[in-house]
């Protein structure tokens, strides 16, 4: 059912979007802006703009409409669930599983699977759907956290934007990396010549990747990688830029006969639990297809 709230302003000159964000931290700023623009937040029945400044004593009326059913189709797709509570799921994603539906890809995704697995999902930004906090590329395997409700989604998103998640990956790259450790600090943006790819570019978004060498093979280097930022294809783009593309990454120059996908696995994921704010960390072993490559190289 829709929910009606009333709040009295006890300050002067504060923007309504900031005031509401401070008083309703469980509702995301984007959702509050949407409610204002849709006319669901009013002062004395007057329509508002997110930039309006408040006056002491004003009464704000907030109508939170009934959640909209998602267009997603619930599908019984097996999931490897590492952890679950009332707020989140931590999943060990297999390769070849797309995270979210896109153009020409409405079924068979992680989002469809979660909707089936959790029929009691709560609304996020007004729609009943899983909260995909961060993504892994289709052919990247490993750990992901998914929110079950808007409060948890906001908590996890705020973590990512402030203190960050502790995200580590294991990757096999082409060639010999001379340094035992290093930092790649190169901005990433959309490739102007191919919209399906990203590239290092001066006008891109700040992107930082840390790496440590695990083992050197004759033609390849096994790395532990930690991402400080979370840009699309970040690890793949950064190592292709260094002329050490990921083994199996056809899109960024790492084509090989060893494997049919990029050798990239999200093996460590740490963050603060939305329910308790306590630190928690999960680990995932290399899947069989990647482990067999290491055994072969050894």
Alpha helices in the chain (DSSP H): 16-23, 29-37, 110-117, 150-161, 234-241, 288-297
Extract the runs of DSSP E, i.e. beta strands, from 94-138. 123-124, 127-128, 131-132
Alpha helices in 81-233 (DSSP H): 110-117, 150-161
Q: Compute the half-sphere exposure of residue 118: CA atoms within 13 Å on the CB side of its CA.
A: 25
Q: Report the distance separating Cα 20 and Cα 281, nearest Å.
A: 33
Q: Report the distance separating Cα 260 and Cα 253, nearest Å.
A: 13
3-state class (DSSP) for residue 101:
coil
Q: Compute the half-sphere exposure of residue 62: CA atoms within 13 Å on the CB side of its CA.
A: 22
φ/ψ of residue 267, rounded to 5? -100, -15
DSSP 8-state secondary structure symbol assigned to residue 266: E
DSSP count for the chain of H helices, then E strands: 6, 18
Contact 69, 77 (CB under 8 A): no
DSSP 8-state secondary structure symbol assigned to residue 257: S
- The set of catalytic residues is 137
Helix axes 16-23, 29-37, angle to 10 degrees: 130
Q: Report the distance separating Cα 255 and Cα 189, nearest Å.
A: 23
């Amino acid at each position: 059912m829709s929910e009606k709230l009333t709040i009295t302003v006890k300050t002067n000159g504060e923007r309504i979007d900031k005031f509401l964000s401070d008083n309703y931290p469980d509702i995301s700023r984007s959702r509050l802006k949407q409610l204002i623009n849709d006319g669901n937040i009013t002062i004395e029945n007057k329509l508002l703009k997110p930039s309006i400044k408040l006056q002491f004593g004003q009464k704000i009326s907030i109508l939170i409409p009934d959640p909209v059913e998602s267009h997603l189709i619930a599908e019984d797709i097996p999931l490897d669930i590492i952890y679950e509570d009332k707020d989140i799921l931590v999943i060990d994603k297999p390769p070849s599983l797309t995270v979210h539906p896109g153009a020409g890809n409405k079924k068979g995704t992680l989002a469809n699977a979660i909707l089936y697995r959790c029929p009691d999902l709560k609304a996020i930004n007004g729609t009943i759907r899983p909260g995909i906090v961060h993504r892994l590329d289709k052919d990247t395997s490993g750990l992901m956290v998914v929110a079950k409700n808007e409060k948890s989604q906001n908590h996890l998103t705020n973590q990512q934007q402030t203190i960050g998640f502790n995200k580590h990956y294991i990757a096999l790259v082409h060639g010999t990396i001379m340094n035992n450790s290093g930092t790649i600090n190169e901005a990433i943006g959309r490739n102007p010549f191919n919209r399906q790819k990203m590239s290092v570019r001066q006008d891109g978004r700040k992107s930082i990747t840390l790496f440590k060498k695990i083992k050197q093979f004759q033609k390849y280097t096994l790395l532990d990688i930690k991402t400080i930022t979370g840009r699309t294809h970040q690890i793949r783009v950064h190592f292709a830029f260094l002329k050490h593309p990921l083994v199996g990454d056809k899109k960024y120059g790492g084509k090989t006969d060893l494997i049919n996908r990029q050798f990239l696995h999200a093996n460590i994921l740490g963050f603060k639990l939305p329910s308790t704010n306590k630190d928690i960390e999960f680990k995932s072993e290399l899947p069989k297809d990647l482990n067999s490559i290491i055994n072969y190289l050894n």
